[in-house]
Structure 1
Amino acid sequence: MNLDWEYFFSLFTMASFYRACVTVVVISTLSWILGLGLGFVIACAKMSTARWLNLPAGVFIWFFRSVPLLVVLVFVYNLPQLFPATGPYLGVPFIAGLVSLVVTEAAYMAEIHRTGLLSVAQGQREAGHALNIGFIGVQRLIVIPQAIRISMPALINEYVTVIKLSSLVSAISLPELLQTGQRLYSQNFLVMETLLAVAVYYVAIVTIFGSVLQWIEKKLDVPSRKPETLSDEQCVALRKAATAIPSRETPDSKGQPPALQLKQIRKQFGDHEVLKKIDMDIKIGEVISIIGPSGSGKTTLIRTINLLETLNGGEVILFGEDFIKGGQKPNQRNLRKGLQRIGMVFQSFNLFPHKTALENIMLAPRYHGKPSDAEVNRKQALYLLDRVGLLAHADKYPHQLSGGQQQRVAIARTLALSPDIILFDEPTSALDPEMVGEVLKVIQDLAKEGMTLIIVTHEMDFALSVSDRVIMMEHGIIQADASPQDIMQADDNHPALLRAKQFMGIEAQPSEYTA
């Protein structure tokens, strides 16, 4: 049997097919967009620790992934028989089809979203918290953009699936492409020609709109962008435009309470007590290095200072004011105010991969509205980049920078909010040996400027040269708390200091550390 090609080509001039194409595009696009939004809400609910949220979300996903779409369509379209009040809405084939597609696709998209959300490292959320960005801000500015980029290929595939599934709405008499074709071949019996034309229409729709979404995906694909190092001339121009960031007015340490007071700090994970009633006072402008073997509680201690880890007991006092108390819900106003005075630099950098080096530094000040002028914010960020020696790399993304460069950007990002205290969590442990010096030089400069620094480190020479006090922790308690000079001169009469001296590998008095 030969195909009637003349009839086949005539189908591409029929207005009814173009109207059907519009119906397919509109119902598919609306279903995809609404399913995208509803699916994200359901994904967040399923990831919640609250049982009253994750249980209904899990049931929704299980049910609508189990029931065939055709069954959902017929049920929703006939729902007015049970609830007559829904007749003006669900009795309309387009609305019934849209509702059916949305709830079905939301179940699938929820799992796609959950995959994307789970792929965003916890360190990204912690970095947002350390920058005093609220939960909604962290989701909007940090987590969701990264999750969407990761999920985009699967979401595009789901859009194509929705377009094809839209053919099932013909079961409730919606005049889309398949129903239009069925009506024609039932009249002239030219089944092959008609279905071939319907297939071409579907392929054209998928190709056009799929290409648009793939273009968007490419725009979101940050790793594919090439590094852009600014020329010397460009750096000179930017350096002239840069504006120094105003320093926070820190009170003189004389006659003032300590910058930080830790009283009876306790922290346990399950039955394991990591911190055992730690007491520590840190004066304004003091540089403290915390050393000790792995598992001694060093990192956990500094993470309790800005509530990255909740306290089981004790309290943190910031510049003489109550800040955090173990077992009590913190006052949100005091917490936000305090967090702006405490910066943190992480061991694994935790830069935001979807932002350039410059945008990483600008993010928190822009969120907090300090300064309110976006151009001033940019100029201050340029100044900080120049301060850490990375002005030429302002437009590069984190993955285009070396480890040492990433850590210096992280320090600049922390300085953007003019904190009074900076916490460093082993800032050089993730770096190659030859990159360690460039980061330690920046920290050393901050120490010379009188910044209050608390540094968890394994760089013993650096700790001895830059610190006012060295604190050694072991088994969740402070074993030694003394000046570098006292530790270097320790003997058998001071067993705690001698233990610190042995741990640091001191044999003779070292020369000053050179970064």
Structure 2
Amino acid sequence: MTFASDVAGLPGHAHRPDSARDFSRARIVPARYPARNIGTVFAGLVIAVILHSVLTNPRWGWAVFAEWFFAEPVLTGLGRTLLLTLLSMVFGFLLAALLAFARISGSPLLAGLSWGYVWLFRSVPLIVLLLILNNLGYLYPTLSIGVPFTGIGFGSWQTTQLITPFLAAVLGLTLHTAAFSAEIVRGGLLSVDQGQLEAAAALGLPWRRQLTRIVLPQAMRSILPAAFNQVTEITKYTSVVYILALPDLFYTVQVIYRRNLEVIPLLMVATVWYLVILTILSFVQRHIERYYARGALREPPPSLIALALKRIRRASDEAGRASATDAVAAPVPRSSLFAAGGEIRISGVSKSFGALKVLDDVSLTLRPGSVTAIIGQSGSGKSTLLRAINHLERVDQGFIAIDGELIGYRQDGDALHELKEKDILKRRVDVGMVFQTFNLFPHLTAIENVIEAPMTVRGVPRAQALAEARELLARVGLAAKADAYPRQLSGGQQQRVAIARALALKPKVLLFDEPTSALDPELVGEVLHVIKELARSGTTLVIVTHEIGFAREVADHVVLMEEGRVIEQGPPHRMLTEPDHPRTREFLAKVL
């Protein structure tokens, strides 16, 4: 019996919609939540009771509160509290940043020193620390600056004259704040994905630029909530300095109510001023968090900081365009967007991770302007070899050279000396890389991702960098997405931005680490189309891929790897149809 006969056998009314199921004229009634209404009424009642109790009870002494709220002694104490908060916050977080970087540094002794500081000053109560600093003259009558253990000195001061109560308060609050804030900063730094650091290094960005432009803006999303909580604590901790007889806000209020015995009204003066300070801090925190949330949300809330910077940047760009030469303002010719391809020479490269040998005596020579596809099963060493070409992975043996220039080393006679990171970054500029997971900088728009490296590394003027970036985005089909953040783009669009970003440095060699593996099947085609266009640009391309059909169509050289070794290599028409090695035939039989 067929489906059609089944339908035909149904009664006639089965084909007509039941009037009870006709929803076209139905009225939508929102769901009701009685518990929410009860909660709202209860909250309103609690607020009304509190306000009535506070405002109608004469013992709160609101007349006395009004008399002293703007009194000169109170405002003077308030100013000293704000100054203590500001100084201890600035110096505390600067010291905290140094401690955090020391903690994650490669020096065990420096990391241990940082840990010891945090352990000590988190353990000592603040009030004890303040008293020790205020009586430091008992332990050290004089303080000197000089070269340790040499007797060479530059100056000496009496401790009791140098360490005033105010300075003791600033030092105590700073040391206390730094101990807690160091862990906040360290946690934020560790929250940044490792791929972001690799992407920045692959672009050749100097480490200072990596820190200020890439790492810290992303780390701030994790740092800010806890950091502002710490600032709030600092503001309240300033009240502890009363033990030093320092006339801050709380100490001043104490002096006044001991004279007039109006304890509650004067305490309310201090309380309300603390509320005002923390309300302002909360407002500032909200807008700073919104600013650093750019790129993290598809619809980021407006930020006063972002709006102000956007206006400044727009004025700067307009001034740059007005002063730019006609050559820069004119359409960028295709020939100026791409550099001539470089020769890649890989000689006897080996790499191990512990007992696992990932690369085993790999040797290859890839001619300038060639397109090489590296294929093989997972774990065969393809991606490690790709990362070794731009020295993101240090090899154990062998060397890699681009146009005869070593990557990561300098030759001194028969020895190869590894370069320092700043020198590696300079040489890495000629080797662009497109990562499997894109690794776009999420807090930068598409065009900001593209112009960052040319401006920082190549020293390209902003107007020229913008013109070339817009041309590159247009060539990968994303001219309309220049001001979109990565989170607002599809996977295929993000990969195309990553390609434009790598091309912006005009590298001799461009590496692709499985550029389509993280994409949905329907997005693969748009990325492969861009790579096909690049294959005609003259740049040397090296592509790790599982797309055998793509390798056949685009590549002019195919390399098969197995267990860290090159099994076979040659032109695609031979490698993919009549391979010589039996392992190649076995591999192709499984994937084709």
Q: How does 1:98-113 map to 2 (within 5 A)?
A: 98-113=170-185
Counterparts in 2 of 1:494 and 1:475: CA distance versus 1, 3 Å: closer
Query: d(CA) in 2 for partners of 1:456 and 1:159?
Result: 49
SS of the residue corresponding to residue 543 of structure 2 reads: strand
Partner of 1:17: 74
Partner of 1:300: 384
Is 1:134–2:206 an aligned residue pair? yes
Partner of 2:151: none
Which sits farther off after the overlay, 338-347 or 3-12?
3-12
CA-to-aligned-CA distance 1:49-80 (integer Å, 9 cap, x gap): 21121000000011111111101111111112
SS of the residue corresponding to residue 212 of structure 2 reads: helix
Query: d(CA) in 2 for partners of 1:161 and 1:241?
Result: 56
CA-to-aligned-CA distance 1:297-353 (integer Å, 9 cap, x gap): 110011011111111001112112333459741376863443121100000101011
Query: d(CA) in 1 for partners of 2:264 and 2:457?
Result: 63
Aligned partner of 1:370: which letter? G
Question: Taking every aligned residue pair, what percent have the same amino acid on both sides?
Answer: 39
Q: How does 1:29-40 map to 2 (within 5 A)?
A: 29-40=86-97
Is 1:382–2:446 an aligned residue pair? no
Tell me the C-alpha RMSD between the 2 structures.
Answer: 2.3
Q: How does 1:193-232 map to 2 (within 5 A)?
A: 193-222=265-294, 223-224=296-297, 226=299
Q: How does 1:233-382 map to 2 (within 5 A)?
A: 243-244=332-333, 246-247=336-337, 250=340, 259-324=343-408, 328-330=417-419, 335-371=424-460, 373-382=461-470
Aligned partner of 1:448: which letter? R
Aligned partner of 2:104: which letter? M
* Contact kept? 1:42, 1:110, Cα under 8 Å: yes
SS of the residue corresponding to residue 26 of structure 1 reads: helix
Aligned partner of 2:445: which letter? T
Aligned partner of 1:45: which letter? A
Aligned partner of 1:59: which letter? G
* Contact kept? 2:510, 2:542, Cα under 8 Å: yes
Query: d(CA) in 2 for partners of 1:2 and 1:332?
Result: 69
Is 1:498–2:498 an aligned residue pair? no
Counterparts in 2 of 1:440 and 1:474: CA distance versus 1, 3 Å: same
Aligned partner of 1:384: which letter? L
Partner of 1:55: 112
CA-to-aligned-CA distance 1:111-134 (integer Å, 9 cap, x gap): 111111011011111011111112
SS of the residue corresponding to residue 2 of structure 1 reads: helix
The Cα of 1:472 is off from its aligned counterpart by 1.1
CA-to-aligned-CA distance 1:342-385 (integer Å, 9 cap, x gap): 100000101011110010001001102432x2111111111111
Aligned partner of 2:277: which letter? I
The Cα of 1:38 is off from its aligned counterpart by 1.0
SS of the residue corresponding to residue 360 of structure 2 reads: strand
* Contact kept? 1:80, 1:90, Cα under 8 Å: no
SS of the residue corresponding to residue 377 of structure 2 reads: coil
The Cα of 1:393 is off from its aligned counterpart by 0.7
The Cα of 1:41 is off from its aligned counterpart by 0.9
CA-to-aligned-CA distance 1:209-231 (integer Å, 9 cap, x gap): 33123222222221346389xxx
Given candidates 459, 466, 469, the residue that maps to 2:547 is 459
SS of the residue corresponding to residue 511 of structure 2 reads: strand
The Cα of 1:158 is off from its aligned counterpart by 1.0
SS of the residue corresponding to residue 448 of structure 1 reads: coil
Partner of 1:254: none
The Cα of 1:154 is off from its aligned counterpart by 1.1
SS of the residue corresponding to residue 399 of structure 2 reads: strand
Aligned partner of 1:114: which letter? R
Partner of 2:561: 473
Given candidates 413, 431, 434, the residue that maps to 2:501 is 413
SS of the residue corresponding to residue 142 of structure 2 reads: helix
Which sits farther off after the overlay, 181-190 or 292-301?
181-190
SS of the residue corresponding to residue 404 of structure 1 reads: helix
CA-to-aligned-CA distance 1:129-167 (integer Å, 9 cap, x gap): 111112222112111111123211111111111100110
* Contact kept? 1:47, 1:54, Cα under 8 Å: yes
Query: d(CA) in 1 for partners of 2:527 and 2:473?
Result: 13
Counterparts in 2 of 1:331 and 1:100: CA distance versus 1, 3 Å: closer
Query: d(CA) in 2 for partners of 1:98 and 1:486?
Result: 75
Given candidates 244, 253, 270, the residue that maps to 1:172 is 244
SS of the residue corresponding to residue 472 of structure 1 reads: strand
Higher-Rg member (1/2)? 2
Given candidates 86, 89, 114, the residue that maps to 2:186 is 114
Given candidates 153, 162, 169, the residue that maps to 1:97 is 169
Given candidates 52, 59, 71, the residue that maps to 2:128 is 71
Structure 1: gaps (5+ residues)? 229-237, 252-257, 506-515
Structure 2: gaps (5+ residues)? 1-57, 144-158, 302-320, 322-327, 410-414
Query: d(CA) in 1 for partners of 2:352 and 2:229?
Result: 45
Which sits farther off after the overlay, 210-219 or 288-297?
210-219
Query: d(CA) in 2 for partners of 1:45 and 1:210?
Result: 30
Counterparts in 2 of 1:259 and 1:333: CA distance versus 1, 3 Å: farther
CA-to-aligned-CA distance 1:238-294 (integer Å, 9 cap, x gap): 99865347246537xxxxxx7011111100001111101001110011111111111
Query: d(CA) in 1 for partners of 2:160 and 2:298?
Result: 51
Given candidates 445, 448, 453, the residue that maps to 2:533 is 445
* Contact kept? 1:77, 1:90, Cα under 8 Å: no
CA-to-aligned-CA distance 1:457-510 (integer Å, 9 cap, x gap): 11111011111111111111112212211123327x6424423432431xxxxx
Query: d(CA) in 2 for partners of 1:227 and 1:277?
Result: 50
SS of the residue corresponding to residue 73 of structure 2 reads: helix
Query: d(CA) in 1 for partners of 2:91 and 2:219?
Result: 18
Query: d(CA) in 2 for partners of 1:303 and 1:18?
Result: 61
Counterparts in 2 of 1:136 and 1:74: CA distance versus 1, 3 Å: same
Counterparts in 2 of 1:187 and 1:242: CA distance versus 1, 3 Å: farther
TM-score normalized by the length of structure 1: 0.90
Which sits farther off after the overlay, 160-169 or 9-18?
9-18
* Contact kept? 1:480, 1:500, Cα under 8 Å: no
Given candidates 388, 394, 405, the residue that maps to 2:482 is 394
Partner of 1:233: none
Partner of 2:220: 148
